[in-house]
Amino acid sequence: GYDLWLRYRPLPAAQADAVASKATTVVRDEDDETIRLAAAELERGLSGLTGRRIAGGDLGEGAIVIGTARSARIAALRLPLAGLGPEGYLVRSVTVEGRPVTVIAADRPVGVLYGAFRLLRIAQAGQSLDRLAIVERPRLALRVLNHWDNPDRYVERGYAGQSLWDWQKLPGFSDPRYTDYARANASVGINGAVLNNVNASPDMLTPAFLTKVERLATIFRPWGIRVYLSAKFSAPIEIGGLKTADPLDPAVAAWWRAKADEIYARIPDFGGFLVKANSEGQPGPGDYGRSHAEGANMLAAALKPHGGVVMWRAFVYAHDKPEDRAKQAYSEFQPLDGKFADNVIVQVKNGPIDFQPREPFHPLFGAMPRTPLMMEVQITKEYLGFATHLAYLGPMWEEVLRSDTYRPRRGMTVAKVLAQSRLSGMAGVANVGTDRNWSGSQFDQANWYAFGRMAWNPDDRASDIARDWAAMTWGPAVADPVAAMMLQSRQAVVDYMMPLGLHHLFATGHHYGPGPWVDDLARPDWNPVYYHKADRAGIGFDRTRSGSDAVGQYAPALAKRWGDPATVPEDLLLWFHHVPWERRMASGRTLWEELVARYDRGVAEVAAMQGQWAALRGRVDEQRHDEVSQFLTIQRAEAQWWRDACIAYFAEVSGRALPAGVVPPT
């Protein structure tokens, strides 16, 4: 699994011949490092796919000609390169000097690299390289992985081994894996990496670490990737010797300015800071009675002369606030709309609680028209069964991106909200580590891949992405059955963990496995009972006007639809409503029966995936097949565990009889 979706194994003969006829040689006349990487990738990929040696050479029929307008050959074609923006590209079948060739051209070298990976994707899927006419540019500017990696290489919520960053050996030793990591990111258009945990160690900003960060930045740069750091708000105290971190204190602002200058002296294209402030115990401007905008703007001023940005997280909630946790981010941030400096982008999780298997979109999307917002998703599956459960997250992100915010009017989807802002982006909490297969499981690689694709184009379809990934990773011949399995997998997890809008039923701390009964944690908002509110009469969180009125944070049209149990989608029913157990559902069943049926369906879906996967035995390599089979066996058993535990608990709370087949946990 180390090769990810860049395996480049030989295609079946007919397809290999077709590709080879359109890829006789790779022609470049620019001596730019990134363009050299693009050429090398094409040679490597096309050679692998065709089983022939495809190398650099002179222009001839079937050549692939790559470059920017700096190449005389490319310039002569008079292609509309300037309109492609800094990262766009075009891939076209054209005639050059009387010969049919394919051109990959861009305004900047990184576009050429992206175009090369695009052409390879087409070839990997076994599709024709004839008559190509592709024009692409990313819809979002910042396509960034957030590594929750600590200096000691522990990865918070990481299920794929240790952190890739071997700080102890940096900067002296450059693990080749850093290059492979950058290459994989570039292949899907990811252009940034926040190297350290949002629960940040201030040490990351010390000179000792900055020399190491500089080394990584140098390795990543030719692949179009900038590095960013999570900044701890109290760093001026901890490593700066100041008495305060008050953002309005001139000495604090001066300290950050000097720190930014120091970083940019080493890393001229440093991306900027990511900040988790006044959330889950982290320090922040609130400690000094200052707002998030005042905190963010102070850091933004330090970065501004260098072109850096602040990604300021809106994931805030406090246990000592009586307000429904789902409402707190909106309450705190929405009034600050328009108050942030122009190099601040507010980073909002996809949903209002915390990366649950299903949440409605976050109400801040559409509600801060004067503030750039980027969406944060969690690629690592903290709440979807870690690396052992197969869950393809493309459909989850698609669901959010396609949600209509109705702000300012109908049709304004979350994807459009993201794309329209002057600074735009998407962040994904990375799922990679030192495991040989990078992600802890073969199928979790698809989530890394899908994140890159959706950040590039938030309107891309999860199903198309799944098929591409499956073709590249498992081979074009099995792409359809593999993609079919992937597409049902996330709903399966929702069904066996927390159907119908239930959320946060997880066991304490690690979040692996069920714990709906937990009611004794010091922070009430960490207890599952806070979220499901099951009792003798019914189940669900009343977030309508008679309850917390979280639904009132959405546009009126949505608030109306979701605020009424008769019109809210059943998938969100218990998110917004406390509903009697005897309520009739669309299926004709009572809510209780429906709940049980959904849990059953989840288990059955995993069993179905096992069958689908078993049918592929012999059609993919044995080693990876076997690993996936074993993981599915774990998932099947644990789906049952979730079902039994949750149903047994809810049966007891509601005073209902246990349905057949439920084995309550001991």
Is 332 catalytic? The answer is no
CA angle in degrees (0–180, nearest 5) for 492-494-499: 120
Pick the closer one to ligand GCU by CB: 34 or 278. Answer: 278
Dump strand ranges (E) for 328-429.
344-349, 373-378, 425-429
Binders of ligand GCU in range 253-282 (CB under 6 A): 276, 280
Q: CB of residue 7 vs ligand GCU: minimum separation in angstroms? A: 33
Q: CB of residue 450 vs ligand GCU: minimum separation in angstroms? A: 20
CA distances from 86 to 169, 384, 523 (A): 34, 36, 47
Is 41 catalytic? The answer is no
Residue 429, CB-side half-sphere exposure with 13 Å CA sphere: 26
Question: Given candidates 198, 364, 417, 494, which one binds ligand GCU under the rule CB under 6 A?
Answer: 198
What binding mask, one character per residue, do residues 579-618 give for ligand GCU by CB under 6 A, x or -? ----------------------------------------
Question: Given candidates 92, 108, 147, 157, which one binds ligand GCU under the rule CB under 6 A?
Answer: 157
Pick the closer one to ligand GCU by CB: 92 or 504. Answer: 504
Count other Cβ atoms within 10 Å, centred on residue 49.
23
Binders of ligand GCU in range 408-447 (CB under 6 A): none
Binders of ligand GCU in range 364-383 (CB under 6 A): 382
Pick the closer one to ligand GCU by CB: 113 or 274. Answer: 274
Q: What residue spans of 148-206 are helical by DSSP H?
A: 176-187
Pick the closer one to ligand GCU by CB: 263 or 377. Answer: 377
Name residues whose C-beta falls within 8 Å of residue 345's C-beta, 6 or more positions apart in sequence: 142, 309, 310, 311, 312, 372, 373, 374, 421, 423, 424, 425
SS3 663: coil
Is 107 catalytic? The answer is no
Q: CB of residue 212 vs ligand GCU: minimum separation in angstroms? A: 23
Q: CB of residue 69 vs ligand GCU: minimum separation in angstroms? A: 43
Contact (CB, 8 A) for 187 and 5: yes
Pick the closer one to ligand GCU by CB: 180 or 323. Answer: 323
Give the pair of three-digit tokens for residue 643. Answer: 């079902």
Pick the closer one to ligand GCU by CB: 105 or 373. Answer: 373
SS3 332: helix
Residue 134 exposed, middle or buried by CB count within 10 Å (0-12, 13-18, 19+):
middle
- C-alpha 340/C-alpha 591 separation (Å) is 45
Q: What are phi and psi of 482, to 5 degrees?
A: -65, -45
Q: CB of residue 497 vs ligand GCU: minimum separation in angstroms? A: 16
SS3 144: strand
Contact (CB, 8 A) for 422 and 342: yes
Q: CB of residue 125 vs ligand GCU: minimum separation in angstroms? A: 35
Dump strand ranges (E) for 276-343.
309-313
Pick the closer one to ligand GCU by CB: 89 or 233. Answer: 233
- C-alpha 304/C-alpha 298 separation (Å) is 10
Pick the closer one to ligand GCU by CB: 355 or 469. Answer: 355
Question: Given candidates 3, 156, 323, 570, which one binds ligand GCU under the rule CB under 6 A?
Answer: 156
Catalytic-labelled residue, pool 61, 280, 464, 480: 280
Size of residue set near ligand GCU by CB under 6 A? 9
Residue listed under structure tokens 């304490």: 508
Pick the closer one to ligand GCU by CB: 109 or 286. Answer: 286
Find, among 81, 122, 101, the residue nearest to 21 by Cα.
Answer: 101
- Does residue 315 touch ligand GCU according to CB under 6 A? yes
Catalytic-labelled residue, pool 214, 382, 444, 542: 382
Q: CB of residue 284 vs ligand GCU: minimum separation in angstroms? A: 12
Torsion over CA: 337, 338, 341, 347 (sign): positive
Find, among 371, 372, 370, 348, the residue nearest to 361 by Cα.
Answer: 348
Counts for the chain of helices (H) and strands (E), in that order? 20, 15
- C-alpha 640/C-alpha 524 separation (Å) is 28
Q: CB of residue 76 vs ligand GCU: minimum separation in angstroms? A: 51
Binders of ligand GCU in range 109-128 (CB under 6 A): none
Contact (CB, 8 A) for 203 and 151: yes
Catalytic-labelled residue, pool 32, 107, 214, 354: 354
Binders of ligand GCU in range 199-258 (CB under 6 A): 199
Q: CB of residue 456 vs ligand GCU: minimum separation in angstroms? A: 23
Which chain residues interact with ligand GCU by CB under 6 A? 156-157, 198-199, 276, 280, 315, 354, 382
Q: Which residues are catalytic?
A: 280, 354, 382
